[in-house]
Amino acid sequence: MRDDVQSNKGRNYKRESAYQPMTERQLIAARRLISEGLSIRKTALEIGFHESPLRAKLKNDQVNEYQRFLGVSDRRFLLSMHNNGT
């Protein structure tokens, strides 16, 4: 093997990832498409992302939105109501 190739792909070689974080513009477009009735799977294809990261991002944003308005005692109360089935 040539020295220059060997030095680049040595023990600590890491393959470059094609992963790009979701931009705010993509997230806004995804929310718009979903509100228009497109499925999450088709929306993910439309904005160029896989379905699972989009679902996770939407879920995380929704949880953060609720947590902003509720205190700890409110969250405990809602959780106990949910667990009791009322």
CATH number for the domain formed by residue range(s) 21-84: 1.10.10
Which long-range contacts does 72-76 make (Cβ < 8 Å, 24+ apart)? none
Residue 45: the pLDDT is 93
Residue 4 or residue 25, greater confidence: 25
Residue 60: the pLDDT is 82
Q: What Cα–Cα distance (Å) separates residue 45 from each residue in 23, 37, 39, 73?
A: 15, 15, 10, 40
Residue with the two structure tokens 């992963």: 19
Whether 13 shows a pLDDT value over 90: the answer reads no
Sequence ranges of the domains in the chain: 21-84
Q: Which tens digits make up the pLDDT trace of 21-72? A: 888 899 999 999 999 999 999 999 999 988 999 999 888 877 666 666 667 7
Residue 15 or residue 46, greater confidence: 46
pTM (global) more than 0.85: no
Whether 4 shows a pLDDT value over 60: the answer reads no
